[in-house]
Amino acid sequence: MRTIKLFFATLFITTLLVNCTHDDAPDTDCDYEPIEEGVGSSLDTLLVKRFTTAPNFDGDVDAVWSEARPLLNTAHVTPAGDRIITLNGSSNGDVSLEPLDLMDPYTGESIKYSLRGGHDGEFLYLLFEWEDDNDSKDRQSWYFDPVTSKWTQENKYANHDNDKFYEDKFGFMFPIGNPEGFAGGTCTVTCHSNLADPQPGEKVTRHYMKNEGELTDFWHWKRDRHALAGACDDGYVQWEDDEGMASANGRKNDEGISPYSTSMKFTDAITDLSSPKYVIPSRENYYWITQAEIDNGTAVAVTGVAVDGVLTLANNTLLDPNGDPSYAQGFGNKRMPSVIINPGGQGNDQRSEVQVRAKHIGSGWQLEIRRKLNTGDPTDAEFVFGTETPFGLVIFNNAAIGHAQSNFLTMKIEE
């Protein structure tokens, strides 16, 4: 098995921690050892050349990838500003139950990564690898609380290190045209903090563009929600007319089929108690339910929630969690998923144009990414031979918003 940690063993790089709203490029002078003789590596420039033969797009690392010079760097989780209000419903408005900074408890974490690129004249190919010992997919699972006799979900936003119940993710941002400040600040120019008037669940740091009419291309992959899609969410960031407010959210998805739904909550009309919407009886360690499993009856709908937590199912059976540690918070192996997934557009719509083949190999993630150099979509970046494109990337390690960022990068595309 290829070991990503060994892949990075010769990399000794010191990078500058960059705050989300900082616009100045860091000093990138440092010493590092090239990992492959004749190919070398770079700290901040992704060199994209034409392949002799395009790689098989399957998530494996073909020999042809040895032709591509890797960009080797480290992404860091940096502070993003105080939360001001609570984000988790379980906190019931008590700010003392949540950490202060929006990125806590992830602040200070760092992730080594490698990024390679190439093209075949039609498609851009990327090989993105990062260190991560765990394939995180336990995303906000439903569990039974025997003290309250209620079903609830793991927190979306971790309150402490032992409260991380989410999925691994990545994001890339590329400019569409020439947005103000992007060449020097990359992703940081889209990030705005200290926003006003946050309502319950709203963050005081948001992404939107500085000026009306400006756009950036945003690729966002989610380990659970894209498990069947073979793609990431191809989206964009735009300006918002409520700029300066916590309600301003400039992140949008391109048109197309959503490959997931997070509407997994059922509420009993009589008891007013909630539970997961579907369960797969007797299944263990599952982190999503497919639409096909709902359609064929493998997943059974919940039709009632009793005051003692017993669930009535659509097949006229009961599920009693009382005294059963299989439904316990944190470790129960029959906790229920928070998402429903489907194959999505499979590359046939704008939202699924950025195709992804992902594998966790035990020591980290190994992903091949493919997209047309020019899709013709006005909300997509165009990759042109002979140009240099500034970009940034982020890695989420079992986190909803606590992302490690690596900005001030450049993609240089040669014909």
pLDDT in tens, the chain (415 residues): 455 654 554 443 333 333 443 333 334 333 333 344 467 999 999 999 999 999 999 999 999 999 999 999 999 999 999 999 999 999 999 999 999 999 999 999 999 999 999 999 999 999 999 999 999 999 999 999 999 999 999 999 999 999 999 999 999 999 999 999 999 999 999 999 999 999 988 999 999 999 999 999 999 999 999 999 999 999 999 999 999 999 999 999 999 999 999 999 999 999 999 999 999 999 999 999 999 999 999 999 999 999 999 999 999 999 999 999 999 999 999 999 999 999 999 999 999 999 999 999 999 999 999 999 999 999 999 999 999 999 999 999 999 999 999 999 999 999 9
Task: Give the Cα separation of 129 and 188 in Å (integer).
Answer: 23
Cβ atoms < 10 Å from Cβ of 343: 16
Q: How are the residues of the chain apportioned to helix, strand and coil, as percentages rounded to the nearest 5?
A: 10, 35, 60
Query: What residue type is 233 in one-letter code?
Result: D
C-alpha pair distances (Å), 246 with each of 197, 200, 238, 242? 6, 10, 15, 8
Structure confidence at residue 201 (pLDDT): 82
Question: Could you tell me the domains of the chain?
Answer: 4-132+168-255+348-413 (2.60.40.1190), 142-153+263-337 (no CATH)
Q: How many CA atoms lie within 13 A of 157 on its CB side?
A: 22
Structure confidence at residue 2 (pLDDT): 56
- pTM for the full predicted model: 0.92
The neighbouring-strand residues paired with 267 are 274
Q: Which long-range contacts (CB under 8 A, 24 or more apart) does 387-392 make?
A: 387/412, 387/413, 388/412, 388/413, 389/174, 389/175, 389/413, 390/175, 390/182, 390/183, 390/184, 390/186, 391/46, 391/172, 391/173, 391/174, 391/175, 391/186, 392/172, 392/173, 392/186, 392/187, 392/188
Structure confidence at residue 44 (pLDDT): 98
Task: Give the Cα separation of 170 and 162 in Å (integer).
Answer: 22
CB 363 within 8 A of CB 85: no
Task: Give the Cα separation of 205 and 195 in Å (integer).
Answer: 6
DSSP 206-265: EE--SSTT-EEEEEEEETTTTTTTSB-EEEEEE--TTTTBTT---EEEPSS--SEE---E
- From the centroid of its chain, how far is CA 64? 28
Task: Give the Cα separation of 3 and 360 in Å (integer).
Answer: 11
